[in-house]
Structure 1
Amino acid sequence: MAAAAAEGKEVRRDLWGQEYRTSSADCAAALDAYYAAFMSFGRGRGAAILRAAAADPSCALASALAAHFVGPRDPAAAAVFLAAAADNLGKATEYERAVFRTLSALLGEERDHEVALDRHFELLKGFPRDLMSLKRAQLICFYMGRPDTSLKFVEQVLPENQDRNYIYGMLAFPLLELGRMDEAERAARKGLSINKNDVWSQHNLCHVFQQKCRFREATEFMESCSPSWTACSSFMFTHNWWHVAVCYLEGESPLPKVLEVYDQYIMSELEKSDCEPAEVYLNALGLLLRLYVRGHIDPAKERLTALLDALKNESIWHVEWLLDLLILWALSSMSEFKSAHNMLESLKSRVSSMDRSRQQVMQKAIQLAEAVYEYGKGEHKKVFDTLGPDFDALGYKMIGASDEQVDVFNEVWYTVLINAGETSKAIEVLGKQIRKREGASFLWRLLEKAYSLDGRGADASVASEKANDLQAAYFN
Structure 2
Amino acid sequence: MGGSEEATTRRDRWGYPVRTASGACIDSIDAYYEQVLAYGRNRAVILRAAAHDRSCTLANALAAHFVATKKPQEASRLLQAANASLGNATPYERAVVAAISCLVGDKKDEDLALNRHIELLKEFPKDLLSLKRAQILCFYLGRPVVSLNIVQQVLVHNEGVSYIYGMLSFPLLELGRMTEAEEAARKGLRINSCDFWSQHNLCHVLQNECRFKEATSFMEACSSSWDSCSSFMYVILDFNSIDVHAFLVLFVILLMKIFLRYTHNWWHVAVCYLEGDSPLNRVLEVYDENIWKELLRIDAEPVVVYINALGLLLRIYLRGHTHDIVDRLKLLTTALKDQSIWHVEWLLDILALWALGCTKETNRAEDLLHSIKSRFSTLSSQKQNSMQAAVQLAEAIYEYGRSNFFKVFDLLGPNFDAINFKMIGASDEQLDVLNEVWYIVLLNSGQVPKAIEALKKQVSKRPGAPFLWRLLEKAYSIERMPDEFFAAEKAKALEAAYFR
Partner letter of residue 268 of structure 1? K
What do residues 385-411 of structure 1 show as CA deviations (whole Å, max 9, x unaligned)? 111111111111112211111111111
Equivalent-residue separation in structure 1 for 2:348 and 2:146 (angstroms): 24
Shift in alpha-carbon separation, 1:299–1:55, aligned structure 2, 3 A: farther
Q: Are the aligned partners of 2:418 and 2:434 in contact in 1 as well (CA < 8 Å)? A: yes
Partner letter of residue 486 of structure 2? V
Q: Are the aligned partners of 2:25 and 2:48 in contact in 1 as well (CA < 8 Å)? A: yes
What do residues 192-217 of structure 1 show as CA deviations (whole Å, max 9, x unaligned)? 11111111111111111111111111
Question: Is 1:36 the equivalent of 2:34?
Answer: yes
The equivalent of 1:126 in structure 2 is 123
Choose from 84, 87, 92 the match for 2:89.
92
Question: Is 1:328 the equivalent of 2:353?
Answer: yes
TM-score normalised per structure 2? 0.89
Equivalent-residue separation in structure 2 for 1:92 and 1:431 (angstroms): 60
The equivalent of 1:209 in structure 2 is 206
Equivalent-residue separation in structure 1 for 2:347 and 2:368 (angstroms): 13
After TM superposition, the structure 1 = structure 2 runs for residues 69-88 of structure 1, keeping only pairs within 5 Å, are: 69-88=66-85
What do residues 241-279 of structure 1 show as CA deviations (whole Å, max 9, x unaligned)? 111111101123111111111111112211122222222
After TM superposition, the structure 1 = structure 2 runs for residues 423-434 of structure 1, keeping only pairs within 5 Å, are: 423-434=448-459
- Quote the RMSD (CA, aligned, Å): 1.9
After TM superposition, the structure 1 = structure 2 runs for residues 71-470 of structure 1, keeping only pairs within 5 Å, are: 71-235=68-232, 236-456=261-481, 458-470=482-494
Equivalent-residue separation in structure 1 for 2:405 and 2:41 (angstroms): 41
The equivalent of 2:246 in structure 1 is none
Equivalent-residue separation in structure 1 for 2:375 and 2:89 (angstroms): 37
The equivalent of 1:3 in structure 2 is none
How many residue pairs match? The answer is 469
Choose from 13, 17, 21 the match for 2:15.
17
Partner letter of residue 21 of structure 2? S
Moved more, 238-247 or 368-377: 368-377
Q: Are the aligned partners of 1:9 and 1:21 in contact in 2 as well (CA < 8 Å)? A: no
Partner letter of residue 13 of structure 1? R
Partner letter of residue 159 of structure 1? V
Secondary structure class of the residue paired with 1:20: strand
Q: Are the aligned partners of 2:276 and 2:496 in contact in 1 as well (CA < 8 Å)? A: no
What do residues 202-241 of structure 1 show as CA deviations (whole Å, max 9, x unaligned)? 1111111111111111111110111111211133211111
Equivalent-residue separation in structure 2 for 1:313 and 1:293 (angstroms): 25
Equivalent-residue separation in structure 1 for 2:380 and 2:161 (angstroms): 39
What do residues 23-74 of structure 1 show as CA deviations (whole Å, max 9, x unaligned)? 33332222222111100111121x2122322333322222222222222344
What percentage of aligned pairs have identical amino acids? Answer: 61
Equivalent-residue separation in structure 2 for 1:76 and 1:221 (angstroms): 44
Partner letter of residue 281 of structure 1? Y
Equivalent-residue separation in structure 2 for 1:345 and 1:56 (angstroms): 48
What do residues 294-353 of structure 1 show as CA deviations (whole Å, max 9, x unaligned)? 222223332121223322222223332222222222222222223222322333344344
Equivalent-residue separation in structure 1 for 2:71 and 2:23 (angstroms): 27
Secondary structure class of the residue paired with 2:139: helix
Q: Are the aligned partners of 2:72 and 2:105 in contact in 1 as well (CA < 8 Å)? A: no
Partner letter of residue 38 of structure 1? V
Shift in alpha-carbon separation, 1:40–1:245, aligned structure 2, 3 A: same
Equivalent-residue separation in structure 2 for 1:54 and 1:209 (angstroms): 44
Deviation at 1:431, TM superposition (A): 0.4
Equivalent-residue separation in structure 2 for 1:360 and 1:66 (angstroms): 35
Structure with the higher helix share, 1 or 2 = 1
Q: Are the aligned partners of 1:234 and 1:269 in contact in 2 as well (CA < 8 Å)? A: no
Q: Are the aligned partners of 1:60 and 1:88 in contact in 2 as well (CA < 8 Å)? A: yes
Secondary structure class of the residue paired with 1:107: coil
Moved more, 186-195 or 362-371: 362-371
Q: Are the aligned partners of 1:151 and 1:171 in contact in 2 as well (CA < 8 Å)? A: yes
Deviation at 1:454, TM superposition (A): 2.1
Secondary structure class of the residue paired with 1:221: helix
Provide structure 2 residue ranges, at least 5 long, that are not aligned to the other structure: 233-260
Shift in alpha-carbon separation, 1:142–1:74, aligned structure 2, 3 A: farther
Equivalent-residue separation in structure 2 for 1:191 and 1:266 (angstroms): 26
Shift in alpha-carbon separation, 1:463–1:75, aligned structure 2, 3 A: same
TM-score normalised per structure 1? 0.94
Deviation at 1:9, TM superposition (A): 8.0
Equivalent-residue separation in structure 2 for 1:340 and 1:7 (angstroms): 61
Partner letter of residue 184 of structure 1? A
Moved more, 122-131 or 316-325: 316-325
Deviation at 1:82, TM superposition (A): 2.2
Deviation at 1:187, TM superposition (A): 0.7
Partner letter of residue 93 of structure 1? T
